[in-house]
Chains A and B, each alone.
Chain A
Amino acid sequence: MLPDSKVPEGPVAEKWDKHKFDIKLVNPANKRKFKVIVVGTGLAGASACATLGELGYEVEAFTFHDSPRRAHSIAAQGGINAAKNYQNDGDSVWRLFYDTVKGGDYRSREANVHRLAQVSVDIIDQATAQGVPFAREYGGLLDNRSFGGAQVSRTFYARGQTGQQLLLGAYQQMMRQVHEGKVKLHTRTEMLDLVTKDGEAVGIVTRNLVTGEIESHSAHAVVLATGGYGNVFYLSTNAMACNTTAIWRSHRKGAYFANPSFTQIHPTCIPASDEFQSKLTLMSESLRNDGRIWVPRDVDETRAAGDIPEEERYYYLEEKYPAFGNLVPRDVASRNAKTVVDQGHGVGPLKNGVYLDFADAITRDGQKAIEERYGNLFEMYERITGEDPYSVPMRIYPATHYTMGGLWVDYNLMTTVPGLYATGEANFSDHGANRLGASALMQGLADGYFVLPYTIGDYLAPKLGEDPVPTSDPAFQEVEDEVRSRTAAFLAIGGTRSPEHFHRELGKIIWEHIGMARNQVGLEKAIEEIQALRAEFWSDLRVLGNGDTLNSSLEKAGRVADFFELGELMARDALDRNESCGGHFREESQTPEGEALRKDDEFSHVSAWAWNGIDTPQTKHKEELDFVDVPLTQRSYK
């Protein structure tokens, strides 16, 4: 059974303040008696390390990177939302809350989303105090822009490098705590399993990626801030090393996995060019503020973009959604791109993209203004494609970008394993079935700076006087043995195909059947294909070298093994959810015009899956969602 979500009673706007008052506190002098493990040092992890350290907790931080600053939060381009209403355009905490619940297509928890909107304003203050160089107006005040699907300008940004600057801010605060001796940093150290005792999380087992040493670490609580699982698609905008291992191994140890099929396909990425392609590159969706999206009306069009007259261009978003036009939410933009490309209107050598055209914006505002806004993105595009977007339209196509699903957490961000927390993209809680642009940075930092540091005290307070379970305990030894034998198993298979090969093949299955549109036949096929490929993986994998050195093939093998199991669960979840909502589009559930059709009577719930062993499908538990303050409506962006 799913534990209580611990959402406080009372009006939604008062829940968080009331909850902060009601939960147990740890006395300042006692905080140093508690040890907390934080895995992952992106926005959610670094901000939690910094804040927990400042509060006085003993923190141990783990990252598989060579430095905490490499975490993939660094790559976020566009911005971070906050309900500051600095632009006087009618924004408010309530509006950000409302937009996020609606944008998430009514599959998130109202109370969590309201809290997120509330603390959003503090994040901007906090980051500014740290020296994050947000963009400013000539008067010296902070600049904002509107961002995919929002009708107010509430997005703060630092050129096209907002994630980088926010992460450096959090990383620097974390390094200050390293200097103070409150945070102990373990770099190039990958968490390979969770250790539980009497049902509670008591530590982790890690592998030192340079020496191969398997080690145990124990603490009073464990926080997973390990990001999303978009790399299950192989081609995604995630960094190469992003993976699901920390949350997946924890799922196997009792943490329920919520809404795994809720993945976000970002509408503006550079289309794939060939089989060797290792990742896809995102072009910030802020480009949609000025770029116009179109395809040739004629599917046999051969002329260059500039030679196609206006009346022969199909501005499909502007035509179908006059109110929002090119700024419809990500899921709508992505699905429509797929539709026109599937109809044969695609552009580029592989006919796998649509145009994002800046010609009108350049005529209207001048090239200099466009360069100011998007210069670095245009440069990046040119570097990758060899084409100059000032003179020819960009070609874009959707790619996997973010995963709304993740470990189920209660209002305190605790998973179904007591003492195990999940923050940032690793949890499921705030974005429902679709995340709005510029909300990921907000959530990661909200969790790490302003939510977890309070709520973790509620779990720790009654443990005063208890030492962490020693790593000599059989609970640790057992997991260490499992990790050692699993590592040895990869090396012992001695097959013919590399981890990379299997990852690519798995990604093709997932993209084909669990991508932008899903149906029963495809999903059932996906489960069969994944199982068959997984069997081949375990009998024909080739990992060279040994376990005592830096061995990236070995690291990759473990990550791919977990992606197989996750992929299967994604298919089961997508199969079970016979409705279309947000990023999850079931072809069986659409309106006569081909728009997504939600089924609130049947599916207004979170699907939280419990592990039953490798050969038995997971059991689904439901958390019913109540929409009290944001009434359920079918989204329409027409």
Chain B
Amino acid sequence: MSRTLNLELKIWRQDGPDADGRFEVYPALGIPDDASFLEMLDIVNEELIEEGRAPIEFPHDCREGICGTCGMMINGKAHGPEKGTAVCQLHMRKFNDGDAIVIEPWRARAFPVLRDLVVDRSPLDSIIEAGGYVTAPTGTAADANDTPIPKEVADSAMDAAACIGCGACVAACPNSAGQLFTAAKVWHLNSLPQGQAERYRRAENMVETMEQFFGSCTNHGECSEACPKEISQDFIAYLNRDYMKSKIKNRRLAGQS
């Protein structure tokens, strides 16, 4: 049942944030098709080390599709060809013997390359810092069942909260927009009763922080298509609604700009 594959990898190599990058070609021979894509890179790296050549730096950690660390463009697609799948969960059985595979880091100005396939995604943390939370200091909470939440509402919040913060949405977007990431967090919190007090403040602060780093959304929909958690583009509509409303609701700010 197990096949092995011989592949040709064309990989972006860049020695540091300020260095010029280049593509290099590596053979990947005898790769078992039960291996994951990252295990395939492990095998190539062990061979590179054996030859005394610097291994390829690539982002990865949990290898279960949940930590959001991994991410790379595979043949121009964020996280590769399998829908709803982070690259760590992509397996080589999805490829054919003899394939040539082009591997690049996330493409986005907001995500500068640190080395090879590793990029800096800290602007995503800045967006959360700007308001991606409910102000709920430890020890102040009421009993969890005091506020019933309709199952549909909780489920929809969970659909949005499933975002792993990998940045594929940004990398896949022709404008390098950060809307899907931002919308997922805004809708997660803004749809729940606990998030109401800060609802419009949150939308406004997060959007305006996002705009310092990322391009504008023009509804291409590439983000949802590339998302390993298949976060719906609908959340962007909710985000836009809350952002627009925030300009009226946050009255104390009106007229200040």
Contacts and interface: CB of A to CB of B under 8 A. Distances in A.
B38 A278 contact: yes
A51 B139 CA distance: 9
A484 interface: no
A72 B62 contact: yes
B81 to A, nearest CB: 13
A47 B139 CA distance: 12
B145 A70 contact: no
B150 A122 contact: no
Interface stretch (A130-138, A195-203, A213-221, A604-612): A130-138
Interface in B189-242: 189, 192, 194-195
A279 B64 CA distance: 9
A240 B158 contact: no
Interface centre among B57, B121, B136, B155, by most A CB within 10 Å?
A: B136
A240 B60 contact: yes
A274 B4 CA distance: 13
A70 B68 contact: yes
Interface string B120-141: 1110110011101111111111
Nearest to B192: A131
Interface string A118-139: 0000101111111101111111
Interface stretch (A172-180, A251-259, A334-342, A511-519): A172-180
Given A349-B1, A386-B93, A239 B141 contact: no
A276 B32 contact: yes
B179 interface: no
B63 A130 contact: no
Contact of A276 (B42, B68, B125, B165): B42
Interface in A118-166: 122, 124-131, 133-142, 158-159, 161, 164-165
B66 A164 contact: yes
Contacts, number: 222
Contact of A134 (B64, B135, B154): B154
Contacts of B173: none
Contacts of A122: 139, 141
B144 A176 contact: no
Interface centre among B52, B138, B157, by most A CB within 10 Å?
A: B138
B142 interface: yes
Contacts of A545: 54
Contacts of A589: none
A549 B17 CA distance: 10
Interface in A257-287: 273-274, 276-279, 281-282
B246 interface: no
B154 A172 contact: no
A384 interface: yes
Interface in B34-49: 34-36, 38-39, 42-43, 45-46, 49
B158 A158 contact: yes
Contact of B133 (A130, A383, A449): A130
B67 A175 contact: no
Contacts of B158: 133, 135, 158-159, 165
Given A122-B141, A125-B141, A131-B189, A549 B62 contact: no
Interface centre among A70, A71, A84, A553, by most B CB within 10 Å?
A: A70
Interface residues of A, number: 82
Contacts of B140: 129
Mostly helix, strand, loop or mixed at chain B's interface?
A: loop
Interface stretch (A3-11, A61-69, A402-410, A613-621): A61-69
A203 B111 CA distance: 32
A450 interface: yes
A321 B197 CA distance: 52
Interface in B147-163: 147-151, 154-155, 157-158, 161-162
Interface of B: 1-2, 15-17, 32, 34-36, 38-39, 42-43, 45-46, 49-50, 52-55, 57, 59-69, 82, 85, 89, 91, 93, 114-115, 118, 120-122, 124-125, 128-130, 132-145, 147-151, 154-155, 157-158, 161-162, 164-165, 188-189, 192, 194-195
19 contacts: A51-B138, A65-B61, A69-B67, A69-B125, A70-B68, A75-B64, A131-B157, A133-B158, A133-B161, A133-B192, A140-B148, A172-B134, A175-B128, A176-B135, A274-B32, A276-B42, A380-B64, A500-B42, A549-B115
Q: Which 6 A-B pairs have the closest CB atoms?
A: A140-B148, A172-B133, A129-B141, A125-B141, A128-B144, A129-B136
Given A172-B132, A240-B63, A544-B55, 11 more contacts: A67-B125, A70-B62, A72-B67, A75-B62, A127-B144, A131-B134, A133-B192, A136-B151, A138-B151, A175-B133, A281-B64
Interface of A: 47, 50-51, 54, 65-72, 74-75, 84, 86, 122, 124-131, 133-142, 158-159, 161, 164-165, 168, 171-173, 175-176, 178-179, 185, 187, 210, 239-241, 273-274, 276-279, 281-282, 349, 380, 383-384, 386, 449-450, 453, 496, 498, 500-501, 542, 544-545, 549-553
